[in-house]
Structures are given as structure tokens and as C-alpha cells.
Amino acid sequence: MSETMQPKILVTGGAGFIGSHTVVDLVENGYEPILVDDFSNSEHSVLAGLEAICGRRLHCHKVDCRDRAGLTNLFESEGPITGVIHFAASKAVSESQDKPLMYYGNNLGSLITLLEVMGEFGVRDLVFSSSCTVYGQPKKLPVTEETPVAEAASVYGATKQIGENILRDLIASAAPHRIMLLRYFNPIGAHPSALIGELPLGAPQNLAPLILQSAAGMRGPIQIFGDDWDTPDGTCIRDYIHVLDLAAAHVKGLAWMAGQSEAPLLEVLNVGTGRGTSVKEALEAFERATGRPIEYEVGPRRPGDIEKIYADCERVERVLGWSATRSIEDAMRDAWAWQEALGGR
């Protein structure tokens, strides 16, 4: 299909960790991604890596998704837009507790402005970045889409729950949208080219970037937040999914929506591997994948941490015909190659 014919997909937050890897999958599947990012948590340098991987120039617009005029101009200049994947948000749980207004303003303001502009231009298909954080600590595992949403444990988690409610209410108002809520678990890894990955802007909060920086000698031993949890080795369990597998789920989601009837729809899908991995097992996976030892110490629990969560992937496999294909070792290997490419950054 010539580039002029390719369906245009708006990727908000397209310069970010998951967005950039999804841009690659979109190009590989014959779409034309249009990137929108305010670069509040990413760098322009991502584009060089992206264009090298994609083998083509990419349209990227520095726009804050809360800027209605900016988004309107974008829809006018880049239209017609076939669908939108909305990654743009602030995502640091601890920061959200210190800056609630920033988080509510950004994560909800961006979503509402985007939806208003989509409505003006008759753009109906939206994939929304949600999170397993909406479940809190599930009573039953693996967690399914029917698992009750828990009371938000953070402002960040509340923005995801409210975002989902906004979209449900939009569909209930008979707006003609087709919406997919993807609840991600713990994305890790990087593109095997080591040209894009998770940028360590500021002090990392998440385990994977901390492992990389510890292995690179940029910080001391990993602090394991408690080994007295009710798990086989006493450390918390999560569902770590390779970012490339997660990216592929978005593109499959767009294709699935395009194949549905014109009727409004809202589909909620857990996107994980279905495998629970403890913190210690994650460290061991890194060592197996890279041959590099990881030093760790056991410290106190981190406030707000849940004990264990991992996905039941039956629905996403049935609806999208998608499942994760990469292991945690694959993710750790790819992440380490990215860290080495970053050097001491």
C-alpha cells in the first residue's frame, strides 16, 4: 500500500516508552502513525531511533493534548485520521501523590480535550492506555476483566479509573465511538535494535530501569521491598510483559475495532503474559539473560505496594487472537542492550 493510502493513526504520547514501540508495530503493519507528544517525559532524540527502525520519516507534532486549538490544527492538517491510540499521560505513582492537580489536570484534561476534538472530526476509534492498577490487590488470581475495580490506591490510579468511567459514560451517551480499554500489567524491555527503549528521565521508580542502572554501576544494590509477603519466595509478584508484545496488542486492537459493525462499542482487555514473576525471579531472569550479576538487599516494604497480580489472558487471546510471545529473559536481554547503548545515562 503506498504511503499516501495508509490509514493514519494518531499516537498521543508517541515519543514515550510504549508509544514509540507501538509506532514501530503500526508501520510494520501498514499504518501511518502521526505522533503527538509534548515531550514532558521524552526526548526528541527518540525520533531518530524510530525513523531508523521504521526506515521512513515520521510525522511528529509537539502538542500538549490539553491544547484544543493545537489538536484541532493537527486533525485538520493531518486528516483524515482513522483512529487514535492515547498513551499521553503522566504515570509516576509516587509523583502523583505529591502533585494531584497536575495528574488530574494532565491525564483527564488530555483525554477530554482529545475526545472533544475527535468528536468534531468524526474520528470514532480509540485505544486507551489503562492499567492493572485499577484492580488494586485482587482477591482472586489470575485477574480477569470482571475482577472488580478497587478503590484507587493513588492519584495516578484514580486518573486511570476516572478515564475509564469517562469513556463508559461517553458510550452510554450514544456517542458513536468504538473504544478499547487496554489494562497493561508491567511493561519492560526495549526494541532489540537498542535504538529505542525506556528513557530514564529522572530517578526511575520501576524495577526494570533500576535493575539496568544497578547492573551498569550507576547505582548500588537493588533494594527489594520486603521478602515477607505471602508468596513462594516472599517477594512481590507481577506480570512482566515485553513492550513489543504490548505494542502488538494495540495494533491488533485497532484492526479488530475496524472489523466491527458501525455500532458504538467498548471493550476492556487485560494485556499481560498470564505469568506471575516475583522480584527475586525477575533479578534471576536478568542474570540469566545477560550473564551479569545483580546485587540486592532486602529492605522494608514500599507503601502502597500490592502483594501479587498477574493477568488472565483468556479474553484478549479470544477477542484479538493475540498473546505474549516473548519471555522475561527476552525483555531483560533487550533492555540491557538498550542500557548499554545509553551508556552512563
Mask: binding to ligand WQD, 150-189, rule CB under 6 A, as x and -?
Answer: ------------------------------------x---
Q: Quick one: 48 or 176, whose CB is closer to ligand NAD?
A: 48
Q: Which does 339 bind (CB under 5 to 8 A by kind): ligand NAD, ligand WQD, none?
A: none
Over the range 120-148, which residues count as b (16 or more CB within 10 Å of their CB) and which as e? eeebbbbbbbbbbbbbbebeebbbbbebe
Taking CB under 6 A as the criterion, the residue among 9, 11, 18, 320 binding ligand NAD is 18
Taking CB under 6 A as the criterion, the residue among 59, 302, 323, 327 binding ligand WQD is 302
Q: Is residue 85 near ligand WQD by the rule CB under 6 A?
A: no
Q: Which stretch binds ligand WQD (CB under 6 A): 52-60, 220-228, 248-256, 336-344?
A: 220-228
- Specify the DSSP element, H or E, that contains 225: strand 222-225
Active site residue 156: yes
CA dihedral 66, 69, 71, 75 (to 10 degrees): 160
Question: Which grid cell is 98?
Answer: 505529591
Q: Is residue 61 near ligand NAD by the rule CB under 6 A?
A: no
User: Of 31, 135, 156, 184, which is the active-site residue?
Assistant: 156
Q: Is residue 106 near ligand NAD by the rule CB under 6 A?
A: yes
Q: Is residue 39 near ligand NAD by the rule CB under 6 A?
A: yes
> Residue 26: which of 244, 259, 261 has the closest Cα?
244
Q: Which does 147 bind (CB under 5 to 8 A by kind): ligand NAD, ligand WQD, none?
A: none
Q: What is the DSSP string of 106-174?
A: IIIHHHHHHHHHHHHTT--EEEEEEEGGGG-S-SSSSB-TTSPPPPPSSHHHHHHHHHHHHHHHHHHTT
Catalytic positions, please? 156
